[in-house]
Amino acid sequence: LKMSSSVSVSVEVPLENLVQEITYDGMELLQQPLTMSESLAKLAQRIDFCGQDEDGGAGSGSATAGSSNENGDIKEEDANGEGGPDANFKTAQSWPWESVRNKIRSALTELSVFGDILTIAQKKQYMVLDPVQADPSDTKPPAVLMYKKKALQAASQVLLSGCERLRASMNEAKSRPSLATLDFHIELLRLRQNWRLRKVGNAILGDLSYRTAGSRFPQGGIFEVTKAEDDSEDGNADSQSTSSQPQPPPPKPCSALRVTVPNELQGIAYIHVHVQKDQDTLSFANIGLPAPAPLDAHWQQRLEAAQNVLFCKELFSVLAREAVALHSMPIPPLVVGNQITATLFPGILLIIGLCHSITGKGQSPPAVSSKLDHNHVLEHSLHQLLREVHRTNSHIPLPHPATAPIGISRKRRLGGPCAYDRQTLLNMTKKEGILEEIIKQSQHVILRLRAMYFLDTLAKEIKDPLLVAHWASINAVTHSCVRITLVSSGYDMCARTQLVIHIKEKSLKAILKDGKAINLSYEPQELKDLLLCQIAIHQIMALQSLSKCLGWTVLSSCTHLGVGNCESTGNAAGCMLTSPNGKRILAVRSSPQAFMPAPSIQVFIGYPPNAKYTTQQNNNNNSAIPMEVDDVSAATTLGFEGMDLTAGVKYKSIRLDKLEGKNFLNKMEMLMAVLADVS
């Protein structure tokens, strides 16, 4: 019957090879079919050489199943197929590996018998109950002792002959010192201990560069090492051939080696760093300024001078490259030839120049004032910053995990787990160069010199109070700290004001006694105004402490007065004191301008109303300053009861320069002592 619908039947070829791997896209990779040699090895591994034949149970060694006769013919298997454990493997009547197995088994038997014979012949042990005694060997101790004595005597003769040769060579070297100093191999060994050497063909070359330390400077520092004797012989032969006249003998070389340095690395080189204002040098530093090495100098001096030239060139090339790419400053640095000029502050320049003289007789470092000292901090910073660049180039952080990119720092790796924003990651990638660091350090040096000069000048001009500056001995390269103490002479315990000033690159930060922080710019006038205000406040606070010791009462005190004449800088400080009996009032006003060569601190004495003055009033300039007393309770407190309050309290100014005393507090102490006894 014909079916209405056909059915598709798929026929697949069975897998002849096993599946080795299934890729991600579903493709199956099959194992390659075995070659003929691999198939033969696989079949040979399945041979059972220890299997028993079907007649092995009867104990007959000759009638084995599958054994071969003398002609090599293979016997037939048992008709029942009971051929031992190999019956399943031997599917045919004649097994192709039967002869191989029989021959290997017979060879194994023969080797076993031969091994037993050798064992019996060597050990002489038989299958008996009593072991056979071995013949004792004759050691002959005297003969062995003689052999050892002769061997030791021969070894001692070798050592003694070597010692004699060494002693003779040392004596010869002492008698002729030139042989010891001009030994080429000894000098070459010393040279190899300090410098990198390699042999290229018949020449010995060395390297002066810092590439092994991480330098990427393209200029090489290859030098050649030759024998000094060969060079001198060649020179003598040339001189004799050119001129027949007798010439003086050439000078003896100081070393058996002669190093040949490239022309661009000969001579001396150094980098001078100057901070100038107009034509005055404020600070300077010279980097890599060695003593000039003559052409006949020792090879160690010549190599050190050549390496110093290479170092100075590399350092200046890095600074020049950073100066061209630096655009963050308001006035970009200028690179002209071998000189870099950068602006630190208005009118103050930083000049970095490279000086190189091939002959060693070039221009000397520019003359500076004898009062200026070499700035070792700048020199050390330049060396340290270049070494840090070398270390960064050679020490690249390893990736974590191993599949991560190379060169990412540990902080950037924590950006994901710590959820850093884009700005934080950008700040991590930014790194200041050597030139930026040097500019910041130079700005800090200038700002610190300004502060030191101003503090010294102010301490000389102002004798009351005394200004003492304590500079911290341990500072950073861009951060210094100075503690300023204002002390009144003779009143150290009750009159002391301290403040701390932190000096940074372009700003100053002052921390006052009460903990208040004030940020200042690099202008010295701001620091001057701050210190004058602190001196004015110090005098008022010291006067209050002294008045309490003498029994006077502080009526009012203010560090920032809002009355009186307007001060050009800062605010005036003042206080009002009353005597113990309440008969007199002292009003003191201290302004910042009072400590300059202008007038002194203003002091006024308050008298009760309708009181008669005992002092002469012949000075119109020092007229009394009236002050109204509107509060009756205040008048009673002041001891003015029974007086006419409408007249008001009258004040009379006092000239402190006419009073006895070495400073302000001493004069006020005498004045308060006199006024306290007034009845």
Q: What is the 3-state secondary structure (H, E, C) of 562-618?
A: CCCCCCCCCCCEEEEEECCCCCCEEEEEECHHHHCCCCCCEEEEEECCCCCCCCCCC
Token pair in block for residue 117:
């014979």
* Residue 138's pLDDT band (cuts 50, 70, 90): low
Q: Kindly report, residue by residue over 524-558, the tens digit of the pLDDT.
A: 999 999 999 999 999 999 999 999 988 899 988 88
Q: Is omega for the bond preceding 399 within 30 degrees of 0, making it cis?
A: no
**Residue 593 neighbours by CB under 8 Å, 6+ apart:** 532, 567, 568, 569
Task: Count Cα atoms within 13 angstroms, Cβ side, for 76.
Answer: 3
- CB-CB neighbours of 23 under 10 Å: 8
- Report which of residues 621 and 11 the model is more confident about: 11
pLDDT of residue 48: 66
Distance CA 163, CA 81 (A): 87
Lowest-pLDDT range of 12-16, 222-226, 432-436, 613-617: 613-617
Distance CA 315, CA 354 (A): 9
**Residue 543 neighbours by CB under 8 Å, 6+ apart:** 575, 577, 588, 664, 665, 668
% pLDDT > 70, the chain: 73
pLDDT > 50? residue 629: no
> Average pLDDT of 101-110?
89
Q: Kindly report, residue by residue over 196-239, the tens digit of the pLDDT.
A: 999 888 889 999 988 888 888 888 889 999 887 654 444 444 44
pLDDT of residue 118: 86
Task: Count Cα atoms within 13 angstroms, Cβ side, for 470.
Answer: 7
* Residue 500's pLDDT band (cuts 50, 70, 90): very high
- Report which of residues 89 and 269 the model is more confident about: 269
pLDDT of residue 293: 61
**Residue 130 neighbours by CB under 8 Å, 6+ apart:** none
Q: Is the Cβ–Cβ distance between 458 and 535 less than 8 Å?
A: no
CA neighbor of 348 nearest in space, from 485, 492, 445:
445
* Residue 638's pLDDT band (cuts 50, 70, 90): very low
Q: Is the Cβ–Cβ distance between 540 and 588 less than 8 Å?
A: yes
CA neighbor of 445 nearest in space, from 374, 544, 357:
374
Q: Is the Cβ–Cβ distance between 675 and 605 less than 8 Å?
A: yes
> Average pLDDT of 184-188?
83
pLDDT > 80? residue 570: no
pLDDT of residue 502: 96
> Average pLDDT of 660-664?
87
Among positive and negative, which fits the CA dihedral 659, 660, 662, 665?
negative
Token pair in block for residue 437:
């660091």
pLDDT of residue 566: 76
* Residue 484's pLDDT band (cuts 50, 70, 90): very high
pLDDT > 70? residue 69: no
Q: What residue type is assigned to position 323 of the chain? A: A
* Residue 110's pLDDT band (cuts 50, 70, 90): very high
Look over the chain and give the mean of its residue pLDDT values, rounded to a whole number: 77
DSSP 48-78: -TT---TTGGGT-SSS-TT-B-TT-PBPPPP
Distance CA 542, CA 573 (A): 12
pLDDT > 70? residue 494: yes
Domain ranges for the chain: 184-227+254-360+375-390, 441-610+648-677
pTM higher than the cut 0.85: no
| CB burial of residue 584 (10 Å; 0-12, 13-18, 19+) | buried
Distance CA 41, CA 13 (A): 27
Q: Is the Cβ–Cβ distance between 450 and 459 less than 8 Å?
A: no
> Average pLDDT of 495-522?
93
pLDDT of residue 503: 95
Of the chain, the end-to-end C-alpha distance in Å amounts to: 154
